[in-house]
Chain A
């Protein structure tokens, strides 16, 4: 679904921001794109959605080469939720914002309505359809941007720091939506600095360091390699650090930890 082959990119007059990046991703995969500030993550995102074209190499999205496909066609296959929702919201009401994508697709009006209603329901925005998106709090603005992408039904999703600034309740809703999209066979790429979030959702970690791919590994393999995490300026999730500190086999989640934890000695057991 996503194929990145030998991709390099430099901004006009600048040095390479990305050099020789290669990876691919299929349906149902959740890729976490990690790396320190300035590693090239946002640039890679803008290459994946066709806003920028690689200087070298090729990017294929759902069979389309982004270098010679108009951006509006690439964006039907790969929807992007940018870091700041203000960067992509431009309609006067939440409903119009979410309808913008479907209105520009060759689908019947009733299907457009159905998609908008479903996207608003999934993001818990039904009651805010008539509001101006920028009158909403930061979390709801983020969900407006996400709803407008979901309503277009893309094959792949790019989410740039989607959990940033969300409280636990909204982060849980975001996770629920990502899992549902994954189950529906979408390919999802998440740029993220929150490794607890990555540990819960990602099937693979793609790490960038100084414009190059430094890792393409399952989360546990990545988080248990101190050299790789240091290079990407990543803090391993607490469960990995806790299990490692206690000389247990490393685990990602609390349930796996509880299963691995030895039974308590007699004085701690219930009588």
Chain B
């Protein structure tokens, strides 16, 4: 049985709003690292909310199809079971701080405390996520005084401490400097292998660092599902990711007859450097 099974799901906000998800089908197995990519308004965040169990809710029902987690729709799950099955980390970390904690440590143990776990168990879980998310030096700080990057690490820790099977991340590194972004992505990459990760993003870079499977959404439908290459080659990709500057440079040279017509345009800096070095050496 698939961990997540989205079956021909059609969904729009309100009774008459346009379809945001259009007969969308997607299966995710346990332990997969899936990037859901797409442009603004393609349905990424809405799909993330379905995967996280925030949808459906009263007044926001599907217009067709269904989504099953371990064979059952989320509304049939108890709140307790759902909280330990899936956790969501959104784009604005400050919005998901509980507001009940005066220190980073209290924020981390807030969720497991609500599960009624024994104190020893809570302490052990907290220790593990403090390490994984590099928070040890911040434990006594007020969560609301942390920087955006630190708050995002705390949000991920507060999600992981619930020991979910699935972690859904919605553009987790959007406003990070490269150092903070790389450090967070590195920490996400090193999370336990049995944790299923779904990362929704408009940018390719974070997805390349985390995912093994790449899904491209366009107007609420999946138009590509496979490697990063499959996604990048899709005609809808240019409006989402743009043309990398290195590919544009090669295209200009090709147009001027100064780049071999048969050679593929490079998409990354590393590929461009290698290709141009090779050309220069000839």
- Tell me the A residues contacting B by CB distance below 8 Å: 35-38, 83-84, 86, 135, 137-140, 161, 164-172, 193, 196, 233-235, 237-239, 241-242, 245-246, 253-255, 257-258, 261-265, 267-270
Contact = CB atoms under 8 A, between A and B. Distances in A.
Contact of B272 (A37, A238, A255, A270): A238
Contact of B92 (A37, A84, A258, A265): A84
A235 B178 CA distance: 7
A160 to B, nearest CB: 9
A234 B149 CA distance: 16
A139 B279 contact: no
Contacts of A262: 280
B269 interface: yes
Nearest to B243: A168
Nearest to B258: A264
B202 A242 contact: no
Given A138-B40, A140-B40, A165-B202, A238 B245 contact: yes
Interface footprint category on B:
35 or more
9 contacts: A37-B148, A140-B41, A167-B240, A234-B178, A238-B269, A246-B277, A254-B249, A258-B258, A261-B249
Given A37-B148, A168-B240, A193 B176 contact: yes
A139 B177 contact: no
A233 B273 contact: no
A37 B177 CA distance: 6
Given A35-B177, A257-B249, 5 more contacts: A138-B40, A167-B240, A258-B252, A261-B276, A264-B279
A265 B281 CA distance: 9
A142 to B, nearest CB: 9
Contacts of B202: 165-167
